[in-house]
Amino acid sequence: MPRSVAPWETSQELLVKAEDRTNPSYGHKPDERPAEEYLKYGVINLDKPAGPTSHEVAAWVKRILKLGQVGHGGTLEA
Amino acid sequence: MTGVLPVTLGEATKVVQALLYSGKEYVCLMKLHGDVQENHVKRVLKEFENAIYQRPPLRASVKRQLRIRRIYYLDFFEMDRRNVLFTVGCEGGTYIRKLCYDVGEVLGCGAHMQELRRTRAGPFVENESVTLHDVFYSFTEWQESRDEALLKKFVQPMEHALALVPKIYVRDSAVDAVCHGASLTAPGVLSLESGISAGSLIAVFSLKGEAVALAKAVASSEQILDINHGVVANVERVLMPRSTYPKCWKSGEKTDE
pLDDT at B225 over 90: yes
Q: What is the largest CA-CA distance in chain A?
A: 54
Q: How many helices (H) and strands (E) does chain B have?
A: 7, 14
At A44, which amino acid appears?
A: I
Kindly state the percentage of chain A with pLDDT values over 70. Answer: 92
Q: Which residues pair with B113 in a beta bridge?
A: B30
Among the partner-chain residues B3, B71, B152, the one whose CB lies closest to the CB of A76 is B3
Closest CA to B240 of B179, B180, B171, B188: B179
Residues of chain A contacting residue B72, judged by C-beta atoms under 8 Å apart: 3-6, 9
Torsion of CA B179, B245, B211, B216, to 10 degrees: 30
A45:B4 CB<8 A: yes
Check if the beta carbon of residue B10 is closer than 8 Å to that of residue A40: yes
A71:B11 CB<8 A: no
CA distance B255 to chain A (A): 33
Q: What is the pLDDT of residue B56?
A: 85
Q: Which residues pair with B70 in a beta bridge?
A: B51
**Best to test chain B binding among A21, A26, A43 (most B CBs inside 10 Å):** A43
Segments in chain B forming alpha helices (H)? 16-20, 38-47, 96-107, 132-145, 148-154, 172-179, 221-226
B240:A22 CB<8 A: no
pLDDT at A68 over 90: no
Give the chain B residue nearest A57 (alpha carbons). Answer: B132
| Average pLDDT in chain B | 93
Give the chain B residue nearest A63 (alpha carbons). Answer: B136
Q: What is the pLDDT of residue A9?
A: 92
Query: Could you read off the pLDDT of B69-80 as tens digits, one per residue?
Result: 999 999 999 999
- Other CB atoms within 10 A of residue A32 CB: 12
Check if the beta carbon of residue B87 is closer than 8 Å to that of residue B12: no
Q: Which residues pair with B83 in a beta bridge?
A: B31, B80
Query: Could you read off the pLDDT of B128-158 as tens digits, one per residue?
Result: 999 999 999 999 999 999 999 999 999 999 9
Q: CA B108 to CA B110: how far, in whole Å?
A: 6
Among the partner-chain residues A1, A26, A65, the one whose CB lies closest to the CB of B139 is A65
Residues of chain A contacting residue B179, judged by C-beta atoms under 8 Å apart: none
CA distance A28 to chain B (A): 7
Q: CA B112 to CA B84: how far, in whole Å?
A: 10
A47:B8 CB<8 A: no
Q: What is the ipTM of this complex?
A: 0.91
Closest CA to B124 of A31, A27, A76, A30: A76
Q: What is the pLDDT of residue B252?
A: 64
pTM, to two decimals: 0.91
Q: What is the pLDDT of residue B257?
A: 41
Q: DSSP class of residue B130?
A: B
Residues of chain B contacting residue A61, judged by C-beta atoms under 8 Å apart: 7, 9, 132, 135
Closest CA to B200 of B176, B221, B225, B186: B221
Confidence of residue B59 (pLDDT cuts 50, 70, 90): confident
Mean pLDDT value across residues B169-197:
96
Among the partner-chain residues A1, A8, A47, the one whose CB lies closest to the CB of B129 is A47
**A27 inside 8 A of chain B by CB:** yes
Residues of chain B contacting residue A63, judged by C-beta atoms under 8 Å apart: none
CA distance A71 to chain B (A): 5
Question: Could you give phi then psi for residue B197, rounded to 5 degrees?
Answer: -125, 165
Q: Are strands B67-80 and B201-205 parallel, antiparallel or unpaired?
A: unpaired
Q: What is the pLDDT of residue B191?
A: 97
Among the partner-chain residues B2, B157, B166, the one whose CB lies closest to the CB of A48 is B2
Q: CA B203 to CA B219: how far, in whole Å?
A: 14
CA distance B36 to chain A (A): 24
pLDDT at B251 over 80: no
Q: CA A68 to CA B67: how far, in whole Å?
A: 36
B158:A3 CB<8 A: no
Check if the beta carbon of residue B241 is closer than 8 Å to that of residue B181: no
Task: Return residues 39-68 of A near B (CB < 8 Å).
Answer: 39-50, 54, 57-58, 60-61, 64-65, 67-68
